[in-house]
């Protein structure tokens, strides 16, 4: 086994600002950048439109008007 393995792997740059990441906030450089990324992710998730569901629920000309009430 190689004995000169470094305790830390090659640090990745922060996805937000390209600064070296820290172990505490990996893979980000700080809590701030981590929160930034999280906020962006959440915004993206909330921005996903769900109009598909509504349009298909209104135009039910193939299956009659039966509703699935499994619960």
Give the nearer residue to Zn ion in terms of CB position, either 18 or 54.
18
User: Contact letters (x/-) for Zn ion, 19-58, by CB under 5 A?
Assistant: x---------x---x-------------------------
For residues 10 and 58, give the distance between their C-alpha atoms in angstroms, rounded to a whole number. 54
Residue 3 tokens read as 């004995």
- Interface segment toward Zn ion; rule CB under 5 A; list 10-18, 38-46, 50-58, 61-69: 10-18
How many residues of this chain interact with Zn ion, rule: CB under 5 A?
6
Cβ atoms within 10 Å of 41's Cβ, excluding its own? 10
What CA dihedral angle connects 36, 37, 38 and 39, to 10 degrees? 50
Residues forming the site for Zn ion (CB under 5 A): 14, 16-17, 19, 29, 33
């Amino acid at each position: 086994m190689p004995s000169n393995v470094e305790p830390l792997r090659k640090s990745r740059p922060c996805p937000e600002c390209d600064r070296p990441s820290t172990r505490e906030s990996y893979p980000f450089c700080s809590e701030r950048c981590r929160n930034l990324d999280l906020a962006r992710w959440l915004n993206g998730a909330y921005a996903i439109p769900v109009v598909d569901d509504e349009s298909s629920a209104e135009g039910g000309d193939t299956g009659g008007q039966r509703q699935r009430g499994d619960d």
